[in-house]
Amino acid sequence: MSETALTPLLVLAGTGLALLLYRTIRAAHARRLSRLAYFDRCKPLLTATRFGKGATGFPRLSGLCKGSECDLQVVPDTLTFRKLPALWVLISLPCPLPVRATLDLMIRPTGVESLSGFHRLPEQIALPGGCPEDCAIRTDQPRHLLPEHVLRPHLSLFDDPRIKELVISPKGLRIVFLAEEANRSRYLLFRDAEMGRTAISPDRILPVLDRLLAIKADIERHSRHATREAA
């Protein structure tokens, strides 16, 4: 093939590569922006808000909800042994609590939950009445657990199949729930595990915050009652 005939092919190939690069950069930029905006609709739920960005590009939102410090995080789970990659939301109340033991309730634990310290707790305990059958509970101090009557009213939390975990510890409370799974077709065909394209609704966040605040109030009420009884 002559040099004259080869030149248009090289130009065409170069144009195609430039267009592909442009589209790749544009898609990456759009992905960064959509991830950063994931909690944008939830900002009015909090006051004195603080905003950060995690290594995955998803945001971390902290602030006050009804006078209590709260923290919202997003954790993508793309481990290949999962049926589908998942996007988890962790909502925490980081505050001192009048409890001596860490209690971790998890639905369908697999042993590989990277978002949790569930399997680092040394003791698995029997399920109290009202717990789902596919729930497991672990603790670090089985002799110093919350009384069942404090916990039982909140076990209805797990009626929502998206709820994965409830943690109660001396350092605060946390609920973890499934926000999104990767699109099955795109993942199976193209291994496309992109999630978080749309900002999460405050309607998904507020009931979890309210539940955490209710658990916190019940724990503190029980502690005050126990202190009065001991006096």
CA distance 10 to 5: 9
Task: Specify the pLDDT at position 193.
Answer: 61
Give CA–CA dist 105/109, Å, rounded.
9
| Backbone angles phi and psi of 216, in degrees to 5 | -60, -45
pLDDT digits (tens, 9 = 90+) for 82-108: 577 889 999 999 999 999 999 999 999
Q: What is the arithmetic mean of pLDDT over 64-70? A: 96
d(CA 86, CA 165): 15
Whole-number Å distance between alpha carbons of 187 and 75: 18
Helix (H, G, I), strand (E, B) or coil at 200: coil
For 137, the enclosing helix (H) or strand (E) is: strand 135-139
Residue 128, CA atoms < 13 Å, CB-side half-sphere: 17
Q: What percent of the chain has pLDDT over 70?
A: 78
Higher pLDDT, 116 or 12: 116
Q: How far apart are CA 2 and CA 52, in angstroms?
A: 58
**pLDDT confidence of residue 184:** 55
Supply the pLDDT for residue 223: 93
Structure token digits, residue 30: 């759009």
Q: How many CB atoms lie within 10 A of CB 30?
A: 11
Q: How many CB atoms lie within 10 A of CB 135?
A: 18
Amino acid identity, position 117: G
Task: Note the pLDDT of residue 230.
Answer: 81
Highest mean pLDDT pick, 50-54, 55-59, 74-78, 208-212:
208-212
Question: What does the alpha-carbon distance between residue 97 and residue 219 come to, in Å, rounded to a whole number?
Answer: 8
Mean pLDDT score of the chain: 84
172 close to 108: Cβ distance less than 8 angstroms = no
